[in-house]
Amino acid sequence: MTSENLTSKPSRKALLSRRNVLRGTIAAGAAASGLAIAGRSRYAIAGNLIPIKLEWTEVAACHSPVGFGLSKGIYAKHGLDVELFYQGASGQTLIQALATRKAEAGPGLLYDWLKPIEQGFDVRLFAGSHGGCQSILVKPDSDIKTLTDLKGKVIGTFDVMSPSRVAFSVALAKAGLDPNNDVEWKVFPFDLVAEGMLRGEADAVAHMDPWAYSYEKKHGLRRVADTQTGVFKDRVCCVLGVNGDYYEANRDAIKRLASANLAIHEYTGKNPGEVAKWYFDTLKPGLPLEDLTEVLASFTYHDNWFGKELLKEVQIGFEDLKLTGVIDAGTDPEEIANRITIDIFA
């Protein structure tokens, strides 16, 4: 399937209804006295738990299960005493957080990990968490129907190398366009990307949820592409990485973290409304609870992004970024994927 022949994506309300039927409970372990979200966050739990610092992107909808899992004691149930470090919205600050030992592990977009790893950053990837969370949107009356229609157009985004730009550069390349020369990328302030397009300064916007969804709903924007369909169908979006030296010294802790991550995302898939309520009350992202619930319900939560499945995703990721020129032409995707991907439950 080409990226311009996108498979129809089920409506967010349909996904939400389907998941409501599946509602269940994962028993939470040791209870906590409270959760304070600031630059650093700590969830104090009594007991002989393994301490570990996780980075996260507090603002991102797809990272809200991390904070929720902490507040529910799911990490504690798996024997971990977790401290959260807010690393910002950039993939580069994700890398910096681990490199400077402000965190030992954490989730990040697959593509954000790969270039630093190619350049020698000692990180191992060990678990996938979800698929989806980014979209390209246009005004409802736009003549842009497919990715190839973006040739010669201006795409607004929030950073010169935003995750959305990186992801959709891959999609554009697979649709036969040069993502650096056939389109123009224009940067707007994070929360004003849609306004830039509405003022006529861009023809399309590339952004991540929950903001992309809020633009779609508020302004009636139309989705041309997203990271759940087309070339991204059944692909993982975010994966967990760990400092290589920390992993060698703390393998049991990372195996526990992978198990906790799976439990947290299974819970989110079955109870998106509960996680959204925590997100709404605690992080106050400035969007209606209904929107946050529908966004979390729309992500794909799989239980098979480990071992060989994760290895395949990592190899494809390197191949994707070679196509856009981010990864060097001489890099062997199969070799490097095998070297840095952990089969955590082997």
φ, ψ dihedrals at 302, nearest 5°? -110, 160
The pLDDT of residue 160: 87
| Segment holding 284, helix H or strand E | none
pLDDT by residue (tens digit) across 259-290? 999 999 999 999 999 999 999 999 888 889 99
Report whether pLDDT(80) > 50: yes
Average pLDDT over residues 316-340: 96
**Cβ contact 144:203 at 8 Å:** yes
Q: Which residue has the higher pLDDT, 26 or 226?
A: 226
What burial class does residue 16 get, using C-beta atoms within 10 Å of its C-beta: 0-12 exposed, 13-18 middle, 19+ buried?
Answer: buried
The pLDDT of residue 240: 95
Contacts of 346 (CB under 8 A, 6+ apart): 307
**Cβ contact 201:156 at 8 Å:** yes
Average pLDDT over all residues of the chain: 85
Cis before 333? omega within 30: no
b/e per residue 96-116 (b: at least 16 CB within 10 A)? bbbeeebbbbbbbbbbbbbbb
The pLDDT of residue 289: 93
Q: Poorest-confidence range of 10-19, 21-30, 234-243, 279-288?
A: 21-30
Q: Which residue has the higher pLDDT, 41 or 253?
A: 253
Contacts of 314 (CB under 8 A, 6+ apart): 110, 114, 125, 239, 337, 340, 341
Q: Which two tokens stand for residue 182?
A: 């056939």
The pLDDT of residue 52: 96
pLDDT by residue (tens digit) across 102-135? 999 999 889 999 999 999 999 999 999 888 889 9
Q: What is the DSSP letter of 300?
A: B
Q: How far apart are the first and last CA of the chain?
A: 33
Contacts of 186 (CB under 8 A, 6+ apart): 154, 155, 156, 157, 196, 201, 202
pLDDT by residue (tens digit) across 30-70? 222 233 333 333 444 445 899 999 998 877 888 899 999 99
Q: Which two tokens stand for residue 25?
A: 């409970």
Q: What is the largest CA-CA distance in the chain?
A: 60
> pLDDT class for 86, splitting at 50, 70, 90?
confident
Could you give the CA distance from residue 304 to residue 138 in angstroms, rounded to a whole number? 33
Radius of gyration of the chain, Cα coordinates, nearest whole angstrom: 19
The pLDDT of residue 59: 75
Report whether pLDDT(21) > 50: no
Could you give the CA distance from residue 106 to residue 318 in angstroms, rounded to a whole number? 20
The DSSP bridge pattern shows strands 238-243 and 123-130 to be: antiparallel
% of the chain residues with pLDDT over 90: 66
Amino acid at 346: A
> Order of strands, edge to edge, in the sheet holding 184-187?
184-187, 154-157, 204-208, 134-138, 222-226
The DSSP bridge pattern shows strands 134-138 and 222-226 to be: antiparallel
pTM of the prediction?
0.83
The pLDDT of residue 96: 81
Report whether pLDDT(5) > 60: no
